[in-house]
Amino acid sequence: MAQQQWKSVERWASKLLINPPARIATQRPLLFCALGGLLFALALPPWGLWPLAWLGLVPLWQVGIQMGNWRGSLAWAFLYEGITAHWLWDLHPLTWLGIPWGASLAIALACWLGIVVWRWGTILLWQQLTFRLGRGQSAGLRVLLGTALWLALEALWTSGPLYWDSFALSQSPHNLAILQLGRWGGAGLVSGAIVAVNGLVAEALASAHGFQSPAPAVAMGHQNGSDGARNRDPTGGRSRRSLWLSALGLWLDSTA
């Protein structure tokens, strides 16, 4: 029964990859920017899934910097900051201060939205500067420019009162090797390394696929995986791997 369910999901995923509905095809760049924000948020405490930070900026880089879609920064920042600033909801209820329940909820919501909008503004500024200054430049120079701009903006943010969630926090306390960079350049250098690696991955994917849809190749790999599942793994383990391959293809295809 479980194997049949996985086959049904696989058929649905393949159909979506090869012939996606127009509405989903138009919205996929924003959806995957939102996914990137979610992944990056999960890299920070209390979840601490630190490897996700090395991929969480890839959708934003491809959609926002390579394609110039500013809405991608909104989708990314809303998920990222919306989750990391969840602690602001602990302000509610403030009834112990004599504030009515409804007003307390409005205060918590206003604080949360204010932080999300502030973070979106900073992400948007970085995305627009990198897109405009890096337009027409080589991939390596664009990555260098994006990293330098991020370091400059983060240096400015540290001097303000609304700065607390540096990208470097995503690597603490688990990734001790990369945290050694902080001994020479502080948290900013760790954040810069994260931005640079994400940029290199995004540029490598764009160069490899030339902004052309990888869906047919992924669908072929999906079919091979399904055949392997039938021949070698009747429990459906290979089938699960082929489904993840299809999901990866959907991510890459979203920026095509």
Number of domains into which the chain is organized: 1
- 217-236: average pLDDT: 39
In a domain, 135, yes or no: yes
Model confidence, pTM: 0.70
Domain range for 152 is 2-89+116-254
- Residue 216 domain flag: yes
Instruction: Map the chain to HEC letters.
Output: CHHHHHHHHHHHHHHHHHCCCHHHHHHHHHHHHHHHHHHHHHHCCCCCCHHHHHCCCHHHHHHHHHCCCHHHHHHHHHHHHHHHCHHHHHHCCCHHHCCCHHHHHHHHHHHHHHHHHHHHHHHHHHHHHHHHHHCCCCHHHHHHHHHHHHHHHHHHHCCCCCCCCCHHHHHCCCCHHHHCCHHHHHHHHHHHHHHHHHHHHHHHHHHHHCCCCCHHHHHHHHHHHHHHHHHHCCCCHHHHHHHHHHHHHHHHHHCC
Within a domain: residue 103? no
Residue 108 lies in a domain: no
- Please write the tens of the pLDDT for every residue from 69-85: 888 899 999 999 999 88
151-187 per-position pLDDT tens digit: 999 888 888 777 767 899 999 888 988 888 888 878 8
Is the pLDDT at 41 greater than 90? The verdict is yes
